């Protein structure tokens, strides 16, 4: 039997230690209340969901699709909320294809502590653009994740696509 291989993401510790993320209340609900979408990296709001850039991305263009309803339970979402989450996820992949031309995607959600959810109280889908060879030795040797583009630049590039949705 081969040994278990580790996937290291030490840069994610910043997320866990960020006092703004761990403040009182739900981070997603708090960001929505601020109504500072550009500052908070919210690309699009729709009737029952919104799209936001991940502040602690695995890759440039790492998007999240989040229901407006504060819930950790997938089965509390009704048919129209589920449909809109999938529709927005599809739009996210189209936007990423237009802007970044990825060779693939990681798409899904982590539910509950055992499922790996970083923000357990408000479910959200992750859409991570992927390219062949987008992982390298830097995180393993130096605890560094190379990100070629700043979040604000990612926002500027993706925003026109989502503005067309509105």
- Which letter, b or e, does each residue of 31-55 get, where b requires 16 or more Cβ atoms within 10 Å of its Cβ? bbeeeebeebbbbbbbebbbbbbbb
| Spatial separation of the C-alpha atoms in residues 121 and 55, rounded to whole Å | 18
Q: Catalytic pick from 44, 91, 124, 126? A: 124
Contact 48, 82 (CB under 8 A): no
| Spatial separation of the C-alpha atoms in residues 61 and 104, rounded to whole Å | 12
151 Cβ contact list (under 8 Å, min separation 6): 41, 53, 55, 57
Q: To which H or E segment does residue 140 belong? A: helix 138-142
Burial class of 67 by CB neighbour count within 10 A (0 to 12, 13 to 18, 19+): buried
Residue 124 annotated to the active site: yes
Active site (catalytic) residues: 124
């Amino acid at each position: 039997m081969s040994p278990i291989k580790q996937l290291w993401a030490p840069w994610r510790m910043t997320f866990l230690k960020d006092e703004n993320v761990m403040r009182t209340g739900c981070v997603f609900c708090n960001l929505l209340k601020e109504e500072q979408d550009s500052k908070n990296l919210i690309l699009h709001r729709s009737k029952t969901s919104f799209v936001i850039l991940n502040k602690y991305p695995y890759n440039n263009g790492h998007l999240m699709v989040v229901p407006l309803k504060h819930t950790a339970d997938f089965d509390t979402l009704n048919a129209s909320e589920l449909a809109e989450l999938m529709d927005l996820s599809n739009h996210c992949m189209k936007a990423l294809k237009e802007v970044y031309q990825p060779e693939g995607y990681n798409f899904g959600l982590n539910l509950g502590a055992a499922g790996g959810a970083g923000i357990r109280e408000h479910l959200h889908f992750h859409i991570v653009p992927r390219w062949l060879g987008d992982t390298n030795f830097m995180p393993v040797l130096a605890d560094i994740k190379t990100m070629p583009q700043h979040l604000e630049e990612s926002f500027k590039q993706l925003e026109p696509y989502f503005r067309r949705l509105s």
